[in-house]
Structure 1
């Protein structure tokens, strides 16, 4: 398990604080076999702080093979496209992209263009990509149309398994969390099931929470870290606003309804970090299972395929997977906060870094 990102940024466990559960070898969503993550990060002059994150449920060559999937919204002040088709079919079969609120359209187009060019057989019917967003307008010129379809394509092309960066990268570049610099975070847990072991991995784009709410490893620390909070004094933003997107991946065989049940557990992990769920935060979550490849072919009818089969974890054994989601979500948020430095963006707006040494002192007390 890594204590720093591939670029040397510290992760939460580097502070010496223990968290429950057994992480995977990289403590990341990419611990789930076949899952890949790619970033396009845009930091230009003093006004552009944004980007795109691409999560591939399967390797590039197999990306059109459906996964069982489900989703859940804690609060609807946000966007995640493609969810009505997931509700209808129980399947996800394209890269998942996360970006800023006003870049959903270009990223949606980018997925379509990438599939049409690189996987043309998958573009003969219809494409309903999943693109989600959180708001980065405090640090980023969000109305400037800086993200274009080719940025989305670049993130998809850059996706790879294994070690991945966190903090101010990809779609998380301009995001804030609990009044500190937030952004991209990940974590994982290993779940034993009889003779088998499965991995639950989580990716979070963290852009939510008021400073006073911040809770770390069960200890309320927000009031003790209340100073240096320029975001709260900014007239446009409301404390707690901004949104959070969470993507859950697992190689455990699950039904679509079980994926939805995993997505419904995300708020329990977020609540461990202190949030009560702001009305001005779009909190939308997606879960998918990479097992049962070859099933859930939700395109036009296949005459040669009269039935499909799904192998799945019995509902009576699902609780350890719920625990893995809650634990991973909590740690992914803390990683997004820890793997960051202070950022200054448009109009001189500043988002301070989490004071790691002060936090470690508070927790060790």
Structure 2
């Protein structure tokens, strides 16, 4: 299965962007299915050009207003479950202060999605040690995908989901993406719908309690949940141009079937590790394409790399069947 036409980076991951590292802590113990994912760019302490795009603002993105105001990010980006976001932000702040004894003002950036269907979210189980382990273990290796880190307890488009990553190479640099998926809609792979309703196709498994696990504890019929998208690049973009890239990341959610429900928090955080702007707006076509292709593939990877998970109160989120996806794509003439 190939998404788009641009070549991937060597790892097909956000860590293909030079100087970008990822670390994760996973908590998977029955009633607790949650964790932390850390995206750590080199040079963050000096401030990197950055921007945030909001599709639906129903979420808790700590530190977003200062990024909007100043156009820079000055800390790693951490992802976790909704009610742990504040504990994670505090632990990140401690980690940063320990490394800079002169710091008096820092803007930790922490995003979230609601993993309360599979994890006892009210326990807020993330500890400083969990956060520091994710930060300290961050590396340029291929990040694990699926039910790991902040994606341990998430679901999307009616199936088990989690963390996904991808990248695309353009002539002057790389676009890399990491996603935490937890939103509603109908899974669509390369234009082919693959609904989760059991009676739509006998080969598709429905959620065991007929609730859309991507919609949290007590979902209403029109609720969604959330998606966090982190876009990294080494292209010489300024903060305004990075913002244009971030908006394309949100657009890409529609390519995999997001319904952008009113109860959803859909955010893209984009940054560049290159502090020397010099990119023409008329040359943004390739970075835009690279972003939409990378996000689309990362979203799909977050589902296809996930495994069926049973968690809080016996709730189960079923992984999408690879055989079913291949069969549907073959029937549609997309896959031979």
TM-score (norm 1): 0.84
Alignment of 1:27-38 (within 5 A): 27-38=12-23
CA distance in 1, matches of 2:44, 2:67: 16
Displacement after TM superposition at 1:220 (Å):
1.6
CA distance in 2, matches of 1:360, 1:316: 38
CA RMSD of aligned residues (A): 1.5
The answer on 1:151 being equivalent to 2:130 is yes
Q: 1:47 aligns with which of 17, 24, 31?
A: 31
Where does the alignment leave 5 or more consecutive residues of structure 1 unmatched?
A: 1-16, 293-309
Where does the alignment leave 5 or more consecutive residues of structure 2 unmatched?
A: 332-336
Tell me which residue corresponds to 1:340.
Answer: 306
Aligned partner of residue 244 in structure 1, secondary structure: strand
Per-residue CA deviation, residues 96-123 of structure 1 (Å, 9 max, x unaligned), is 00000000111111111101112334xx
CA distance in 2, matches of 1:115, 1:142: 26
Alignment of 1:120-159 (within 5 A): 120-121=101-102, 124-159=103-138
Displacement after TM superposition at 1:273 (Å):
0.2
Tell me which residue corresponds to 1:214.
Answer: 187
Displacement after TM superposition at 1:333 (Å):
0.6
Displacement after TM superposition at 1:178 (Å):
0.9
TM-score (norm 2): 0.92
CA distance in 1, matches of 2:259, 2:159: 17
CA distance in 2, matches of 1:95, 1:326: 23
CA contact (8 A) 1:231 1:237 kept: no
Displacement after TM superposition at 1:362 (Å):
1.0
Tell me which residue corresponds to 2:82.
Answer: 101
Tell me which residue corresponds to 1:326.
Answer: 292
Displacement after TM superposition at 1:247 (Å):
0.4
Aligned partner of residue 64 in structure 1, secondary structure: helix
CA contact (8 A) 1:232 1:238 kept: no
The answer on 1:56 being equivalent to 2:31 is no
CA distance in 2, matches of 1:105, 1:231: 31
CA distance in 2, matches of 1:324, 1:204: 15
Displacement after TM superposition at 1:231 (Å):
5.9
Displacement after TM superposition at 1:161 (Å):
0.6
Alignment of 1:242-257 (within 5 A): 242-257=225-240
Displacement after TM superposition at 1:79 (Å):
1.4
Tell me which residue corresponds to 1:259.
Answer: 242
CA contact (8 A) 1:342 1:350 kept: yes
